[in-house]
Chain A
Amino acid sequence: MNNKFIHLEDIEMVFSSKQGRYTALSQVNLTVHQGEFVSIIGHSGCGKSTLLNLVAGLIPPSSGVLLCAGREISGPGPDRGVVFQNHSLLPWLTCFGNVYLAVERVFGGAESKAQLRARTEQALELVGLKEAQQKYPHQISGGMKQRVGIARAISMQPKALLLDEPFGALDALTRAHLQDELLRIAAATGATVLMVTHDVDEAVLLSDRVVMMTNGPAATIGEILDIGLPRPRNRLELAENRDYVRLRGEVLKFLYQRHTQQAA
């Protein structure tokens, strides 16, 4: 439980553009343990999505050390399942086809087609979409699309699940529903989860630890809050839980008192 599963050391991220160099992240140090659920929260533009893209391997850091399961992250790979903010499903494939593409890539070499199909169906069943598997993305709702995105990520049995504001584009009711599902899935699979969010309730409800980022440029980790709330967690019971209210208040205080965003 206490090994360093995802490890970031002195990460610096500098973007060069025509306007000059922009330091997005500086001096970022973070360790995520195996099976841990960690949220990254901060104002928009603080580089929290950049941080996730670094762990996903979609962009290389300007300097610093990035490790996943003891190995350096040199690029994207199926050991880190990514759920994108805008679901990023391929519109010409059915829900089944979208997940199957991922399953085939990871397990295609070793397993038969029937086994691959069973894996795909299993992943879709886990997110409650077994009935809709032959539908195309444009035929299903935004919440269902995001579930397919989650199914695609977990179907690869990744060592880590990376979520980039996964529920940001959804309405409040659907969001709450999917948060509960994510809690259940994380508990069922024992996955290590790193999630970027701008929703304080979401961060406190789901996480073991909440990483709070300062504002850019040269954003870094301002504070890490331990959420000691027992699991399984229940949204309704927690709403009146004194610890929950206190932790929520601390995150809010960090975001709106100490690191309030200057008006653009």
Chain B
Amino acid sequence: MNVIPMMKKETLPLSRQDSTRPARQTALSAVQQPAAREWTASLYGSMDALIKWALPPLLGMIVFILAWSLIAGHSPQLPGPVKTWHSAVELFSDPFYDHGPNDQGIGWNVLHSLERVGLGFGLAALIGIPLGFMIGRFAFLSKMTAPIISLLRPVSPLAWLPIGLLVFKEAQPAAIWVIFISSIWPMLINTAAGVTKVPADYLNVARVLNLSELKIFSKILFPAVLPYMMTGVRLSVGVAWLVIVAAEMLTGGVGIGFWIWDEWNNLNVEHMIIAIFVVGIVGLLLEQLLLLLAKRFAY
């Protein structure tokens, strides 16, 4: 709004100079005023865009919080948003305390869960991606593995936990095993599909140039499959993070899943709700991180 006085100051010396010719002065200010109007219009325009961009999600959050407090008001066990918020502020004021194996800060719990996810997912990538390349490249191998993959892929992740406990005799590797077996499929299947979808033109180039297998892999196959592979990786990390909560509830130890279960046993409902938000936010961040990474490999 301080734009218009500023413009007036600029026109003042002009009006003094041209006081003998009032007609020209009005013509000049008529030229300058639309410029000022344009400027404020563009300011309002960007404000408008900001509102259009921020309003719907903001409104969604408000409706969500209202609904939550409404439900909380009618059921005495469920804490409302305000009570949960106060509890969260207290919880996050000291996220990394350590009072023995069953009482650690939320930060430690999240980090331990991420460590299990990282290990299980990392092993899955180490085996799933090369296997996907081989299955995609060799039709015989693809036909050989197809029945096994279609049989094992739909199995619920937690169904693998008892076998893990049986084989590894310990909770920690069993949880990693569950992450491994449930997150290997998206990477394996997407990588294999990517290899079969490499355009025939690119492979013809490889044949005409008579490239070695190593060059075909590094210059044609790998870059062509990379976007498919990244989609697989993103889906796999999503699955791994989805599964870790349930796995930790059953295996125990320090982790966000066990923490939820522990707080349920303590009947600390605020902490259970906070944990749900933490799981959601960490999952969201993982997804965004990988999307950002995938964008770098899009051609």
Contacts and interface: CB of A to CB of B under 8 A. Distances in A.
Interface of A: 56, 58, 75-78, 80-82, 84, 86, 88, 90-93, 101-102, 105, 138, 156
B215 interface: yes
Interface residues of B, number: 15
B252 interface: no
B299 A88 contact: no
A90 B207 CA distance: 14
Interface in B179-224: 201-202, 204-205, 207-211, 215, 219-220, 223-224
Interface in B206-265: 207-211, 215, 219-220, 223-224
A105 B215 contact: yes
B210 A92 contact: no
A86 B202 CA distance: 11
B296 to A, nearest CB: 11
Nearest to A83: B208
Closest 4 CB pairs of A and B: A92-B223, A88-B201, A91-B299, A76-B207
B209 A101 contact: yes
Contacts of A84: 201, 204-205
Contacts of B215: 101, 105
Interface of B: 201-202, 204-205, 207-211, 215, 219-220, 223-224, 299
Given A101-B219, A105-B215, A90 B209 contact: no
B42 to A, nearest CB: 31
Contact of A102 (B201, B204, B207, B209): B209
B208 A56 contact: yes
Given A88-B205, A101-B211, 11 more contacts: A56-B208, A58-B208, A76-B207, A76-B208, A77-B208, A77-B210, A81-B208, A88-B202, A92-B224, A101-B219, A105-B209
B204 A58 contact: yes
A91 B205 CA distance: 13
Contacts of A91: 299
A140 to B, nearest CB: 14
A207 B82 CA distance: 84
B203 to A, nearest CB: 10
A56 B208 CA distance: 8
A105 B224 CA distance: 20
Contacts of A105: 209-211, 215
A78 B204 contact: no
A78 B202 CA distance: 15
27 contacts: A56-B208, A58-B204, A76-B208, A76-B210, A77-B210, A78-B208, A81-B208, A82-B204, A82-B208, A84-B201, A84-B204, A84-B205, A88-B201, A88-B202, A88-B204, A88-B205, A90-B202, A90-B205, A90-B220, A90-B223, A91-B299, A101-B215, A101-B219, A105-B209, A105-B211, A138-B299, A156-B209
A239 to B, nearest CB: 35
Contacts of B211: 101, 105
A6 to B, nearest CB: 16
A91 B223 CA distance: 9
Given A91-B299, A93-B219, A58 B209 contact: no
Nearest to A101: B219
A81 B207 CA distance: 11
B223 A58 contact: no
B200 to A, nearest CB: 9
B204 A86 contact: no
Contacts of A80: 208
Among A58, A75, A76, residue most surrounded by chain B Cβ atoms (within 10 Å): A76
Nearest to A104: B215
Contacts of A101: 209, 211, 215, 219
B211 to A, nearest CB: 6
A77 B211 CA distance: 9
B210 A78 contact: yes
A75 B206 CA distance: 12
A152 B81 CA distance: 65
Contacts of B209: 78, 101-102, 105, 156
A127 to B, nearest CB: 17
A90 B208 contact: no
Contacts of B219: 90, 93, 101
A76 B205 CA distance: 10
Contacts of B201: 84, 86, 88
A138 B298 CA distance: 12
Contacts of A82: 204, 208
Contacts of B204: 58, 82, 84, 88
A69 B215 CA distance: 28
A105 B121 CA distance: 38
